[in-house]
Amino acid sequence: MSEQEKIGLARFDPSKNASVDLWFHDSVELAHGCRTSIKIKDVLCHYRSRCQEIAVFETEALGRMLVLDEITMLTEFDEFAYHEMIVHVPLLVHPSPAKVLVIGGGDGGTVREVLKHPEVEQVQVCEIDEEVVKSCRRFLPSLASSFDDPKVEILYRDGARFVAEHAEAYDIIIVDSTDPVGPGQILFQRPFYEDMKKALREKGIAVTQCESIYFHPDVIRGVFSFARELFPELHYYYTMVPTYPSGIIGFFFCSLACNPLKGPSRERAASLKGLRYYTPALHRAAFTLPRFGAALVDPEAPSGT
């Protein structure tokens, strides 16, 4: 297998007179026989860390793109839709989000959004792979420059083990994780959610990346089956990200006390700078699921009402 084939890159000549093009093929199939392809201008970096294969591409139309193990993590074109919704929904619901833990998030986008909240006093980032941070600092500074803020501490640790060691330590936990494959599987299992609950302070909120209602219903049902027994307030919401499978990706909102539909703080939301996706109205609308999606997290209300 060639080096290009190893990272999902392929060259083809559509006609005898056409120039040769370079495309990235995401390893995740949207459905059987369907996958996403993105035209690439340049390979900025490609190497294997101790944990995974890392690549950053300059794309034809989507800006720079981070790829881990042949799966698209983000593009500059639409990353804001993901990062704004994973952050501002919980932080604007919590009455005083002073201490925040980000598990994963080595690209820096989640931290960038967290730092827009003046109430936040400390942000700890627990990222297992130091090389992701290094690559993003160099090639994705619009996200990773957030790591330079004095409020931020980066810890190169296993996130699941770290959470288990820190009881009642955080107001907000944000799990900005990869898909539930390989080492990431543990972040979608009951013991991790139990440890997250213990790591939250009074009125604490955890938000976890939890896939697409179109292509990952079994994952969502599985997490819901045990998370509903752990958190008094458990809700699922989503955001629209064109470069992710199905164009949407969802999150579980796991709270010890706060109902996300009784917020957010409009005053605090109005003070946030540089937003491109989040609004208080969209915040509330994101929890309204289509009928088949509502059935995944509330079988007793299949109508989605």
Over the stretch 116-125, which tens digit does the pLDDT of each residue have?
999 999 999 9
**Of 8-22, 95-109, 131-145, 207-221, minimum mean pLDDT range:** 8-22
Q: What is the pLDDT of residues 229-247, one digit of tens each?
A: 999 999 999 999 999 988 9
More confident residue, 300 or 138: 138
Whole-angstrom CA distances from 66 to 29, 44, 48, 249 are 18, 10, 14, 17
Q: What is the Cα–Cα distance from 120 to 151, expressed in whole angstroms? A: 8
Could you tell me the pLDDT band of residue 213, with boundaries at 50, 70 and 90?
Answer: very high
Q: What is the Cα–Cα distance from 111 to 102, expressed in whole angstroms? A: 8
Residue 2 confidence (pLDDT): 54
Strand order in the sheet with 200-209: 152-155, 122-126, 99-104, 170-176, 200-209, 248-255, 233-240
pLDDT at residue 131 above 80? yes
Q: How many CB atoms lie within 10 A of CB 111?
A: 28
Which residues sit opposite 39 in a β-bridge?
Answer: 23
Q: What is the Cα–Cα distance from 153 to 107, expressed in whole angstroms? A: 14
Residue 17 confidence (pLDDT): 44
Residue 33 confidence (pLDDT): 75
Q: What is the Cα–Cα distance from 73 to 248, expressed in whole angstroms? A: 13
Check if the beta carbon of residue 237 is closer than 8 Å to that of residue 89: yes
Rounded average pLDDT over 162-179? 95
Q: What is the Cα–Cα distance from 175 to 102, expressed in whole angstroms? A: 6
Q: What is the Cα–Cα distance from 259 to 205, expressed in whole angstroms? A: 10
Nearest to 248 by CA among 218, 216, 219, 223: 216
Nearest to 256 by CA among 280, 227, 285: 227
Beta strands of 144-269 (E only): which ranges?
Answer: 152-155, 170-176, 200-209, 233-240, 248-255
Q: What is the Cα–Cα distance from 269 to 290, expressed in whole angstroms? A: 26
Which of 107, 171, 176, 298 is the catalytic position?
176
Helix (H, G, I), strand (E, B) or coil at 219: helix
Residue 10 confidence (pLDDT): 60
Residue 8 confidence (pLDDT): 67
End-to-end CA distance of the chain: 51
Rounded average pLDDT over 14-38? 72
pTM (global) more than 0.85:
yes
**Of 15-19, 35-39, 128-132, 197-201, minimum mean pLDDT range:** 15-19
pLDDT at residue 15 above 50? no
Could you tell me the pLDDT band of residue 14, with boundaries at 50, 70 and 90?
Answer: very low
Rounded to the nearest integer, the mean pLDDT of the chain is 91
pLDDT at residue 3 above 60? no
Tell me the three-class secondary structure of 66-124, residue by residue: EEECCEEEEECCCHHHHHHHHHHHHHHHCCCCCEEEEEECCCCHHHHHHCCCCCCCEEE
Residue 63 confidence (pLDDT): 98
Q: What is the pLDDT of residues 78-91, one digit of tens each?
A: 999 999 999 999 99
pLDDT-above-90 percentage for the chain = 80
- Which pair of tokens denotes residue 66? 């981070």
148 is catalytic: no
Q: What is the Cα–Cα distance from 286 to 261, expressed in whole angstroms? A: 10
Q: What is the Cα–Cα distance from 65 to 56, expressed in whole angstroms? A: 6
pLDDT-above-70 percentage for the chain = 90
Q: What is the Cα–Cα distance from 228 to 234, expressed in whole angstroms? A: 6
